[in-house]
Amino acid sequence: MFPTPAQLDALTWSLGSSLLQFVPELVLCAGIITLLFLRLLPGGERHTSATTAAAFVVVALLLAAYQVSEEAYAGSIFQGMLLADPLGGVMRLVLLGGSLLVILLTRWSNLSEPWDAVDLQVLLFGSTLGLMLMVQAHHLLMLFIAVEMAGVPSYALAGFPKLWRRGSEAALKFAIFGAAASGLMLYGITLLCGVFGTGYLPNILDGITRRGIDLPVAAGAALLFIGLGFKLSVVPFHFWCPDVFEGAAAEVAAFLGTVSKAATATVLLRLVHSLQQLQPDASQLPMTVGLPLGVVAALSMTVGNLAAFGQTHLQRLLAYSTIAHAGYILLGIAVMTPVALQAVLYYLMAYVLMNLGAFASVAWVRQATGRLDLEGIRGLVFRHPLPAVALAIFAASLLGLPPLVGFAAKFQLFLAVYEAGQSAPATAPFLATGWYVLLALALANTVCSAYYYLRIIRWMTFDEPLPVRGEASSVQQTPSFAGTVYLLLLGAAVFLLGVYWSPLIRLCQIAAQMFV
C-alpha cells in the first residue's frame, strides 16, 4: 500500500530534520568525494590533499560545535537508527578534533608518498565517519555497521606507508584479529536480537530490566563486549595492539590509540549508563556487570603496565601504555555513577591530547634520528631541547603528575571510584569493598607506571647522546620546524588544561546532562 500524502509529508519532515543533524557527517562524505576527484587531477600531491582534508574537518568541526552550543538535538533520527543527543554531540567534537590533529601530524611528518597521499586522507575520513556513527548508534545493526566502517579503513591505514614492510605485516595481523572480533560481535548481536525480537537499543535495554540477565542475554552481551573490547584493547583482547602499533607508522598508531579508543569507550559508556538508569535497584547492575568490568579493567592496567617495563621500542611501549589507560577508562565505566560518567568523559578528552602528543613525538624522533627505540631519544635534550621538553610533558601527563591534564583526569576518576565505595548501599557491603580494592590496584598501577614513563625522561636528559646507528626507519627525513611547533602547542595545551579544568569540565557536563 502506498503512503498517504500525510505520511509522505511526515517522512519528508523527518528526513529533513535528520539530515540537519547529520551535516558534519555529510561534510566528511563531501570531503571523501572531493579528495578522490582531486586524485584525478594533475598536481594533486600530498600537501594539497592534507590541506584540503584539514579544511573539510575544520568545517565539520565548526558545524558540530554550533549544534552543541545551540543545543540543537533532535533525539532519534533516521527512524531511530541514530541518536542526536548531548553525549554524541560532544564526542563528535572530540573525534573531529583528534582527526584534525592526526591530519596535521601527517602533513608535517610527510608520512605518505605523493602517489598515495589522497588514499591516506580518504581512509582517515572513512574511519572517522564510522567512529562518529558509533557514538550516535541507537540500533544494534547500525552499531555493527559503524564498527565495520571504522575498522576496515583502519586495517588499511596500518599498512602505511605502502612500501614499509613492517606496516604490511601490522595491517595483516590487524585485519585477521579484527575479522575474528567482528564475527563474534555479530553473533552476539544476533543472539540479543533473537531474544528480544528487535535491535532497537532502548527496547533491548528495557527488555533486559524486565527479563533479567539470563544465559542467552549474558552470552549475547559478552560477545558484544568482545567486539568492543577488541577495539578498546582491554585484556584479554589486547594481543593485536603491541604488534600493530609497533609495525604501523606513529601517525597511524596515534589515530588508533586515541580517536578510535575514545569512540569505543563512549559506546560502552552509553550502553552501561542507559541500562543503569532503567534498573530499579541501584546496586544490582554494579554487582552483576560493574564488578566483572572492574576485574577486566584491573587486568588491563596491570598487564599493560608490567609488560611496558621491558620495552625498548617506543611505539610498543606506548601500545602497552594504551592498554593500561584502557583499563583506567573501563574502571570508570564500571562504576556506573553520574560522577564517574563525567570523570570518564574528562579522561577521554585528556587522553586524546596527551597520547596523541606522545605518538607525535615518536614521529618527530623518527625523523630526527631514524630510530624508533630508546636509543633514538638518548640525550635528546642536548640536541633538540624543545621537542624533548614536549615529550617530557606528554610522558609526565600520561603518568598523572600535576599540574598536567593527566593528573586532573586521574584525580577525578579515582575520586569517582572512591565516592562509589562510600555511597554503596549497606545491603551490598561487598560492592564497597570491591570498589576500594580496584581503587587500590589503580593507584598501585599508577605508581608502577612511573618506572617506564620516567625512564623516557631520564634517557632524554641524563644520558649523553650517542651516534645514531642500527635500526633506522625507512621514512627518515629532516625534522621540520612545523613539527616542533606542533609538539610545543600540544604540550602547552596539556599544561594549560591541567591548570584550568573548567573548559573540559563544562563539555563533560553538557555531554552527561541526559544521564545526570
Question: pLDDT tens digits for 201-211?
Answer: 888 888 888 88
Q: Is the pLDDT assigned to residue 467 strictly greater than 60?
A: no
Establish if 1 belongs to a structural domain: no
Residues 91, 511 contacting (CB under 8 angstroms): yes
Q: How confident is the model at residue 426 (pLDDT cuts 50, 70, 90)?
A: low
From 431, 146, 166, select the one nearest 288 (Cα to Cα): 431
pLDDT for the residue numbered 421: 87
Query: Do the domain assignments include residue 17?
Result: no
Structural Rg of the chain based on CA atoms: 22
Total domains in the fold of the chain:
1
**Does some domain include residue 307?**
yes
What pLDDT sits at residue 471? Answer: 44
C-alpha span between 160 and 139 (Å, rounded)? 33
pLDDT of residue 475: 44
**Is 8 among the domain residues?**
no
- Residue 156 is assigned to a structural domain of this protein: yes
336 conformational bin, left if phi > 0, alpha if psi -120 to 50, beta if neither: left
Residue 133 has pLDDT above 90, yes or no: yes
What element of type H or E holds 240? helix 240-247
CB atoms within 10 A of CB 165: 10
Residue 137 forms part of a structural domain: yes
Q: Are 439 and 446 in contact (CB under 8 A)?
A: no
Which of 31-40, 109-118, 447-456 is most confident?
447-456
Tens digit of each residue's pLDDT (9 = 90 or more) over 290-349: 899 999 999 999 999 999 998 888 999 999 999 999 999 999 999 988 899 999 999 999
Q: Which residues constitute the domain of residue 229?
A: 23-512
Judged against a pLDDT cut of 80, whether residue 126 lies above it is answered with yes
Number of residues that make up the chain: 516
pTM of the model: 0.92
Average pLDDT over every residue of 414-438? 86
Q: Say which range, 4-13, 242-251, 330-339, has the weakest mean pLDDT.
A: 4-13
31 vs 468: CA distance, rounded Å: 41
Residue 15 domain-assigned (yes or no): no
Average pLDDT over residues 266-280: 84
Residues 49-103: tens digit of each pLDDT? 788 889 999 999 999 998 888 776 767 778 878 888 899 889 999 999 999 999 9
The answer to whether 405 and 354 have CB atoms below 8 angstroms apart is: yes
